[in-house]
Amino acid sequence: MNGIDLLGMEDLSRADIETFLETATHMQEIGRRDVKKVPTLRGRTIVNLFFESSTRTRTSFEIAGKRLSADVVNFTPSASSLSKSESILDTAKTLDAMDPDAVVIRHGVAGVPKRIADELSAPVINAGDGAHEHPTQALLDLLTVYEEKERIDGLTVTIIGDIAHSRVARSNIQGFLKMGAEVRVAGPPTMIPAQVETLGVKAFGSLREAIDGADVVMALRIQRERLSGAFVPSIREYAATFGLDRAKLRFAKDDAIVMHPGPVNRGVELAHDLADRRPSVVLDQVRNGVALRMAVLYLLAGRHRERAL
Amino acid sequence: MSSDPPVQSSRVRAESRSADAVSEGVPAHVVLDDVAIGRALMRIAHEVVERNDDLASLYLVGVPNGGVPLARRLAANLGEVADLDPLVGILDTTLYRDDLVGEGARPLLRKTEMPSAVDDRVVILVDDVCSTGRTVRAAMDALMDFGRPRAVQVVALVDRGHRELPIKIDYVGKNIPTRHGDLVKLLMEGASGDERLRVVVEQEGSR
Amino acid sequence: MRVRIQGGRVIDPGSGRDEVADVLLEDGRVVAVGRGLESSEAEVIDASGSWVTPGFIDLHTHLREPGLEYKEDIASGGRAAVAGGFTTIACMANTDPVNDDPSVTDYILDQAKQDAPGKVLPIAAATKGLEGKVMTEMSALVDAGAVAFSDDGRTIMDSGIQRRVLEYSRLVGKPVIVHAEDRTLCGDGVVNEGPVSTRLGLPGNPAVAETVLVARDIQLAELAGAHVHIAHVSTAGAVDLIRDARARGVHVTAEVTPHHLTLTDEATLGFDTNTKMAPPLRSARDLQACLEGLADGTIDAIATDHAPHAVHEKEVEFTEAPPGILGLETGFAVVLELVRSGGLTPSQLVAALTSGPAAVLGLPVGRLEPGAPGDVLVIDPERRWTYDPSKGFSKSRNSPWAGQELVGRVETSFVDARLVYHADRGVLMP
């Protein structure tokens, strides 16, 4: 790992990923106790800095922090730094002066967690930056697949949807590739980023070909505003061509699992009966999110970077 | 968490890490071999039976890594001595440690597997080496998160002194006086359940 | 007052000279260039081991005055220019108010006369308010001193209006400078579309956004019989289009920036907003094509696109930061690297900074011949220095080269035979 932050799957080695996953498996045990709390981060402060609202991810980090006995503070600045005429670096310096032990950042623009990390002595955990990375989502997805398949090496993973605008796709591509899986992507051509093969994946225009023989089929959440003509003619057409249902899933392996980072647009990305019933593991993903984020906070919170002033 | 791995569960990694591997080429002398350890655990089993009235409520809890095979052997000895089949749990104390601060990488977690709550049980914590008493302190805190035990007693295969907390060991396999900087380790070889154990001392300065 | 610059390597592509010689300046002009020149009462500058070149000409700067003086003004930009060897700079019209009226052109020239140690040439807007709708009064603007017309970053997207602008420019015989980016194709792109944008998840700006516009404006210039100048070429496709057009006689000229010649989009992998430009940094292949275009004469000039922005404007989200970087003080050292790496000869490099841009605007400067203006540089091509924008002359600091060691430095700059900059003494105003 590069230093003390978790900014993206791109920075992690396979061994780093294994450490996060293995630690998370031990954290899962705490979630099964009556007293779901350990004193590990007592007296430590974790700041949830969410420039972009995301109740699910923020709550998941908040529960994770609280199960480790940290004080979790939610800080939700409105809109972009421009509207407050406060630069990102000012935000970072202000935070730094409050001596947090970890800062969890969600921002609508790629690169902001990195820029803040450059100014902060506490570890920065990227909770999603624009269409760039969402490493804790990828790690919890890896954990979920590991639980189901007991391996990742050699699996075929197909990611479907708006690859171009998806941080979940980018982080999962990196994560699954580093752990030895084959990764395919599929989606409308307008939603496949330029030269996507440079990421190490194969791109498919047809859903059926993309999921042929897949062990894991991951549907991405689609922003509805992109389905009204700008990238795809209509929601109906998207659901018909790239929405996943049990009939289409037949082309995948018999024991294939279906994943989705949530929240699901039922009837768009996943058919209604695939949203939360087997072979969908969507709720396991949510459950694993807390354990995985506990692992991340345990391994990073309280460490500080050496900085030349 | 269903497997029964040697001391350390490692689900994700291909090969398991051994936290207590012998450092190559370091002179270490054996202070307890497998036979001596067996003898000590048998004596402790007798002492446990002598000291406790409600033998049915016994609950052995091994502290990883070394306490786990010791707890398992002690349970077998109790079966032999008093026809008991006590519950055996595994309780990692890492998240309760008092030294998780600073810049360094955090210690890796180990398995916790408590088959039931500890309410109204006589819990016997089993650890390999007791020195400062901090691990026992952490283990007791961890234990309280699994209920309210009627009593907690502590087994240490080796008590090497240098206590920093007011912790008393109820059952000691062997007292081994050491210098502060010496290292005392329980080493394990062989498959879990059929492992051979020995305790070695690496003296300060020889490392 | 006479000055004899003695014993330097005189590199003057405009007159085909590259040899050790003396340069004699007097009364604002070059009076002689040759070996062993004798002159009494001359101040002698020993240039042995140094290069002696005409003062550089920068076709593309943003001096921000009037209206945006918190970023830069004519005085600070003018000092930065002579410190970097640029004795003549053309400045873009996107000030506040826009330079779309002779009164603004007059103002810029008045300020320059008062504050700038070098020569400042205003480029006027092609359309009023840079709105792409109503043409500016080109004739009046040229009378006031405008040397070219451009809406620069506010590219005229309406092809019909662009056609009229080009046609009308023939009346005044000045080039129309085009920032060739099709805004509908750029979308909200902030980095080159390709592996880097895909990896970073930042919106991509495709190379075709440039080539589509270059193709359009070459055809419109051909139709109109006008002179179009393509600003900051950044793509291999644009270089090819310009090369073909020149071969068939279209009056198209072009410039390229130091950053597009030396940095690729991979510089953006750390999200440094000082790597955000318009057009964006491109691929290694594009960079190579620009270099080849410069070497073979397809591209006429190196222009810095000096674009000062205040620190707080750049310390924001990558997508929100204004594009552009400083260029005047680092430009020469940055492109000198191309000589060391073998991409350009010294003569090709100096041509792109002197005779090349002079020809684009039809300027009398950019060569060292008797009677030419006494704009001369003495350059130490080996001198190592560390660029610290906070100690530079510009008011802004937005540079990807901040803190880096650069090689090659202008030691002295003369404007009209007057010493205006000395590396150890700073800018000297009369």
The string of DSSP codes covering C90-136 is EE-S-SSS-S-SHHHHHHHHHHHHHH-SSEEEEEEPSBGGG-SSSB-
Chains within contact range of chain A (3+ C-beta pairs < 8 Å):
B, C
Same domain? For A233 and A252 the reply is yes
Q: Does A32 touch chain B (CB under 8 A)?
A: no
In C173-255, alpha helices (H):
183-186, 195-200, 207-224, 236-247
Assigned domain for A213 exists: yes
Give φ, ψ of B201 to 5 degrees: -115, 125
Smallest CA–CA separation between C287 and chain A, in Å?
Answer: 19
User: For residues C62 and C60, what is the distance between their CA atoms, to the nearest angstrom?
Assistant: 7
DSSP structure class, residue C393: S
pLDDT for position A85: 55
Q: C214-233 pLDDT, tens per residue?
A: 999 999 999 999 999 999 99
The two tokens of residue B93 are: 């104390």
Say yes or no to pLDDT of A53 above 90.
no
Q: Do A193 and C197 touch (CB under 8 A)?
A: yes
By 3-state DSSP, what share of chain C in percent is helix, strand and coil, each rounded to 5?
35, 25, 40
> Nearest chain C Cα to A108, which residue?
C317
pLDDT band at A84 (very low <50, low <70, confident <90, very high): low
pLDDT for position C430: 61
Q: Which residues contact B150 (CB under 8 A, 6 or more apart)?
A: B57, B120, B121, B122
Is C11 in contact with C34 (CB distance < 8 Å)? no
pLDDT for position B58: 97
Q: Which of A33-42, A81-90, A174-183 has the lowest mean pLDDT?
A: A81-90
Q: Is C348 helix (H, G, I), strand (E, B) or coil?
A: helix
pTM recorded for the entire structure: 0.91
Is C318 in contact with C276 (CB distance < 8 Å)? yes
Q: Which residues contact A144 (CB under 8 A, 6 or more apart)?
A: A259, A281, A284, A285, A288
Same domain? For A116 and A175 the reply is no
pLDDT for position C322: 96
pLDDT for position B105: 87
Q: Do A110 and C201 touch (CB under 8 A)?
A: yes
Q: Do A29 and B113 touch (CB under 8 A)?
A: yes
Residues of C in contact with A173 (CB under 8 A): none
Q: Tell me the DSSP string of A258-289.
A: EE--S---BTTTB-GGGSSSTTB-HHHHHHHH
Q: Do A33 and B146 touch (CB under 8 A)?
A: yes
pLDDT for position A79: 53
> What CATH number did the domain enclosing A277 receive?
3.40.50.1370
Q: Is C388 a catalytic residue?
A: no
Lateral strand order in the sheet of A216-219: A202-204, A182-186, A156-160, A216-219, A257-259
Check residue A23 and give left, alpha or beta (phi > 0: left; psi -120 to 50: alpha): alpha
pLDDT for position B3: 34
Smallest CA–CA separation between A196 and chain C, in Å?
Answer: 7
Q: Do C194 and A195 touch (CB under 8 A)?
A: yes
Same domain? For A161 and A105 the reply is no
Q: Do B12 and A33 touch (CB under 8 A)?
A: no
pLDDT for position C366: 97
Nearest-CB residue to C317 (from A112, A133, A167): A112
pLDDT for position B15: 37
CA atoms in the 13 A half-sphere facing the CB of A78: 3
Assigned domain for A306 exists: no
pLDDT band at C160 (very low <50, low <70, confident <90, very high): very high
Q: Which residues pair with C86 in a beta bridge?
A: C56
Same domain? For A55 and A104 the reply is yes
Chains within contact range of chain B (3+ C-beta pairs < 8 Å):
A
Query: Which structural domain range is residue A76 located in?
Result: 9-134+287-300
pLDDT band at C259 (very low <50, low <70, confident <90, very high): very high
Q: A93-125 pLDDT, tens per residue?
A: 888 888 999 999 999 999 999 999 998 999 999
Number of domains making up chain A: 2
Assigned domain for B93 exists: yes
Give φ, ψ of B44 to 5 degrees: -65, -35
Q: Do C194 and A194 touch (CB under 8 A)?
A: yes
pLDDT for position A308: 47
Assigned domain for B7 exists: no
Smallest CA–CA separation between C65 and chain A, in Å?
Answer: 23
Q: Do A27 and B109 touch (CB under 8 A)?
A: yes
Give me the percent of chain A exceeding a pLDDT of 70. Answer: 95
Assigned domain for A256 exists: yes
Residues of B in contact with A35 (CB under 8 A): 145-146
* Residue-averaged pLDDT of chain C: 97
Same domain? For A66 and A169 the reply is no
Q: What is the ipTM of this complex?
A: 0.91
Give φ, ψ of C411 to 5 degrees: -90, -45
Q: Do A146 and B10 touch (CB under 8 A)?
A: no
Give φ, ψ of A61 to 5 degrees: -65, -35
Residue in the block written with tokens 């918190």: C70
Nearest-CB residue to A298 (from B1, B9, B106): B106
Q: Which residues contact C112 (CB under 8 A, 6 or more apart)?
A: C74, C78, C119, C120
Task: Give chain A's end-to-end CA distance (angstroms, integer).
Answer: 23
Assigned domain for A1 exists: no
Comparing A308 with B176, which gets the higher pLDDT?
B176
Angle at which helix A14-31 crosses helix A135-149, to 10 degrees, equals: 70
Is C257 in contact with C303 (CB distance < 8 Å)? yes
Q: Do A26 and B146 touch (CB under 8 A)?
A: no
Q: Which of C73, C151, C265, C305 is catalytic?
A: C305
Lateral strand order in the sheet of B29-32: B29-32, B196-202, B183-189
Same domain? For A40 and A112 the reply is yes
Assigned domain for B140 exists: yes
Q: C18-65 pLDDT, tens per residue?
A: 999 999 999 999 999 999 888 788 899 999 999 999 999 999 999 999
pLDDT for position C42: 86
Mean pLDDT of the A221-228 span: 82
The domains of chain C, with CATH numbers, are: 55-361 (3.20.20.140)
The two tokens of residue C70 are: 């918190």
pLDDT for position B19: 40
Helices (H) and strands (E) in chain B, counts: 3, 8
Q: Does A272 touch chain B (CB under 8 A)?
A: no
Same domain? For A153 and A272 the reply is yes
Say yes or no to pLDDT of A275 above 90.
no
Same domain? For A141 and A267 the reply is yes
Assigned domain for B173 exists: yes
Q: C358-416 pLDDT, tens per residue?
A: 999 999 999 999 999 999 999 999 999 999 999 999 999 999 999 999 999 999 999 99
Mean pLDDT of the C264-285 span: 97
Assigned domain for A234 exists: yes
Assigned domain for B50 exists: yes
C429, exposed or middle or buried, with CB in 10 Å at 0-12, 13-18, 19+?
Answer: middle
**Tens place of pLDDT for every residue, chain B, 207 residues?**
333 333 333 445 433 334 444 444 556 789 999 999 999 999 999 999 999 999 999 999 999 999 999 999 999 999 999 999 999 999 999 999 998 877 788 999 999 999 999 999 999 999 999 999 999 999 999 999 999 999 999 999 999 999 999 999 999 999 999 988 889 999 998 887 788 999 999 887 665
Same domain? For A101 and A163 the reply is no
pLDDT for position C253: 98
Q: A164-212 pLDDT, tens per residue?
A: 999 999 999 999 999 999 999 999 999 999 999 999 999 998 999 999 9
> What CATH number did the domain enclosing B43 receive?
3.40.50.2020
Q: Does A36 touch chain B (CB under 8 A)?
A: no
Q: Which residues pair with A244 in a beta bridge?
A: A270
User: For residues B176 and A288, what is the distance between their CA atoms, to the nearest angstrom?
Assistant: 44
Residues of A in contact with B11 (CB under 8 A): 22, 25, 146
User: For residues C12 and B172, what is the distance between their CA atoms, to the nearest angstrom?
Assistant: 93
Assigned domain for B47 exists: yes
Same domain? For A222 and A236 the reply is yes
Q: Does A303 touch chain B (CB under 8 A)?
A: yes
User: For residues C163 and C333, what is the distance between their CA atoms, to the nearest angstrom?
Assistant: 38
- Interface of chain B against chain A, CB under 8 Å? 1, 9-13, 92, 95-96, 100-106, 108-113, 117, 141-142, 145-147
> Nearest chain B Cα to A305, which residue?
B103
Q: Mutating which of B2, B95, B145 best tests the A interface, going by the most A Cβ atoms within 10 A?
A: B95
Give φ, ψ of C154 to 5 degrees: -95, 60
Same domain? For A160 and A78 the reply is no
Are chains C and B touching, using the cut-off of 8 Å on CB pairs and a minimum of 3 such pairs? no
Assigned domain for A125 exists: yes
Number of domains making up chain B: 1
Same domain? For A236 and A120 the reply is no
Q: Do B112 and A68 touch (CB under 8 A)?
A: no
Q: Does A33 touch chain B (CB under 8 A)?
A: yes
Assigned domain for B69 exists: yes
R_g of chain C, CA atoms, integer Å: 20
Smallest CA–CA separation between B199 and chain A, in Å?
Answer: 28
User: For residues A128 and A53, what is the distance between their CA atoms, to the nearest angstrom?
Assistant: 11
R_g of chain A, CA atoms, integer Å: 19
Assigned domain for B122 exists: yes
Query: Which structural domain range is residue B141 located in?
Result: 35-99+109-179
